[in-house]
Amino acid sequence: MKFRELEKNCRKSTEGFAEHMTLAILGDCATQHLAKAIRGYAYTKEIAMDIFDADYDQMEAQILDPGSELYEKQPDAVLLWFCTEKLYAAFCKCTDRSRFAEEMMEKYKRYYALLEQRLGGRILQFNFTEQDDRVFGNYANKTAESFLYQLRKLNLMLMEEAQLQKNLFVIDLAYLQNQYGMEKIKDAKMYYLAKMPLSTHILPQVAAEVLSVLEAIRGRIKKCVVVDLDQTLWGGVIGDDGMEHIQIGELGQGQAFSDFQNWLKELRKRGILLAVCSKNEEDTAKEPFLKHPEMVLRLEDIALFVANWENKADNIRYIQKTLNIGMDSMVFLDDNPFERNLVRSLIPEITVPELPEDPSQYVSYLQSLNLFETASYSGADKDRTRMYREEMDRKDLQKQYGDYEEYLKDLEMKAQAKPFDPFHYARIAQLSQRSNQFNLRTIRYTEQEVEHLAKSKDHLTMYVTLQDKFGDYGLISVVVLDKMPSDTLFISEWLMSCRVLKRGVEEFIMDQIVELARKNGFQTVTAEYLPTAKNAMVSELYERMGMNKEGEGRYRVSVSEYQAHKTCICQEGELQ
């Protein structure tokens, strides 16, 4: 996309767009073109983006003055842009150069603290495009007094700080510089003439990165990759060539396919589910995953394996239903343009990248799309595939039972409900960003906000973990309760992973909520359902749970009248 088109989008009406965002841009350079690019790019995603764009010499005042327009606007997120040119100017004036990066970081940290305290929203910050003054030549890598050394150190310190400050997200301009080159991203005269550190040619890519991060924070992320096999995961056709002759590893162009599989495996470890969708006999298709010594992906890496002769759109719908995730969180990879077009036309929500013809370009092309942006990561992500596979085993067991209740009893479910604790902040924040369907008020929490809730005296919190005889689901539900006047406890958020639906877990949690209310001396529990495009499944949850409807989406139940449910879940441990 070209900057010119984004600029034009800014003049188009965003009326009717369901999504709205407000973003403040604060830079020590000119940011108007960037603001246009972001607004224009948001338009292509059907997001109405309201941008507060401060003058570049106003940056400090906006952050420091508690009465500034910035704080009046209360944007959802703030984008900070400290440019390399200004950094260099500050470096030249600095006397203790070996400590320059630390000094800058101290300044940023003061800003983060003020923004956190007065806004509480997300902070996005560009890292620094790399530039060296060549005053030391290559020796710059050998002395802490060089600009290059301090700049690279500062970029690393930003990454370290972003791990501590959960509300801070770094946007990687240095990566874009690497991809596109200095020639494309900068024009020195534009900095002198207009204080523009980046050329308009690169702004569409910059805007795309900003939007990716903002969308990931909002929970718009990819969760699953559906892959074809022949000519996609390996060279050749398994049904014709036989397992010995498919190209993978050392054979033919096999290395390109191995690298592609390796990349998919890395995604799997990050928590992306892999599913196979192939026109093949199932046994033939599975054979390489079981027996080929050079296959990188093995059967246990695949959450769901579908090989038959049905049309791929139907198979993908089956995969989506079985994994129980949104179609817009899925990516379909197939070397065959016919299949891609078929899927694209029958399922418009799914992302179907236009894979290059040359398999050696698969990985670099897919990486350039940055499809897998995320706003959270926890160590448990690598287990997600295993959990889904265990789920398949459960479904198999379920088929053997005539009576669902009997089946549930046989699962030997055990659950624990506990107040938020530091070990689970990351996972709680992540679940709040990922859950769209079973989510009563769709509030997205960052880790920082989770920590705040955990420590707050005005709230009670609860997370629930579940296991059964097939395995451990881990943390599957989050509840946040607000203490209200007149002994009332308000369920300000309740969300749950859809993987555990219809097992009595909702009933179990509702019981826990009321029990928690009772123990803490509350008389009444109230709740609210806020509809979104995706959470219709819980529109009648509170009624089903035994609460009384009081008005549109509002519910109430008195603790003394509440009837606890009968479930097949054994409770472990005590509530707070």
Partner 1 sequence: MSREEILEKLNEIFQDMFDDEDLEITEETVADDVEGWDSLMHISLIEEVEDAFDIRFTMVEVNGMQNVGEMVSIIAERM
- Provide the binding-site residues for partner 1, judged by CB under 8 A: 3-4, 7-8, 11, 32-33, 36, 187, 189-190, 192-194, 196, 199-201
Q: How far is the CB of 13 from partner 1 (least distance, A)?
A: 14
Q: How far is the CB of 211 from partner 1 (least distance, A)?
A: 20
Q: How far is the CB of 184 from partner 1 (least distance, A)?
A: 10
Q: How far is the CB of 193 from partner 1 (least distance, A)?
A: 6
What residues contact 27, with CB distance under 8 A and at least 6 apart?
34, 54, 56, 59, 80, 81, 82, 83
The residue to which tokens 């900057």 are assigned: 3
Contacts 24+ apart (CB under 8 A), 11-19: 12/43, 14/43, 14/47, 14/48, 14/49, 17/46, 17/47, 17/48, 18/46, 18/533, 19/45, 19/46, 19/47, 19/48, 19/218
Beta carbon nearer to partner 1, 8 or 245 = 8
Q: What are phi and psi of 335, to 5 degrees?
A: -75, -15
Q: What are phi and psi of 435, to 5 degrees?
A: -85, 125
What is the Cα–Cα distance from 323 to 326, expressed in whole angstroms?
A: 9
Beta carbon nearer to partner 1, 37 or 226 = 37
Beta carbon nearer to partner 1, 109 or 201 = 201
Answer whether 452's CB lies under 8 Å from 459's CB. Answer: no
Task: Report residue 313 as tokens.
Answer: 């759109």
Task: Report residue 13 as tokens.
Answer: 């009406």
Beta carbon nearer to partner 1, 7 or 50 = 7
CB count in 10 Å sphere of residue 378: 18
Q: How far is the CB of 209 from partner 1 (least distance, A)?
A: 20
Q: How far is the CB of 3 from partner 1 (least distance, A)?
A: 6
Beta carbon nearer to partner 1, 8 or 99 = 8
Across 32-59, b (16+ Cβ under 10 Å) vs e yields bbbbbbbbbbbbeeebbbebbbbebebb
Q: How far is the CB of 11 from partner 1 (least distance, A)?
A: 7
Dihedral of CA atoms 137, 138, 142, 147 in degrees, nearest 10, equals: 50
Relative to beta strand 47-53, strand 77-81 is unpaired
Dihedral of CA atoms 100, 135, 90, 119 in degrees, nearest 10, equals: -70
Q: How far is the CB of 203 from partner 1 (least distance, A)?
A: 9
Beta carbon nearer to partner 1, 13 or 95 = 13
Beta carbon nearer to partner 1, 76 or 187 = 187
Answer whether 319's CB lies under 8 Å from 226's CB. Answer: yes
* 3-state class (DSSP) for residue 252: coil
Beta carbon nearer to partner 1, 192 or 377 = 192
Beta carbon nearer to partner 1, 4 or 469 = 4
Task: Report residue 133 as tokens.
Answer: 């003054």
The residue to which tokens 């924040």 are assigned: 429
Q: How far is the CB of 183 from partner 1 (least distance, A)?
A: 11
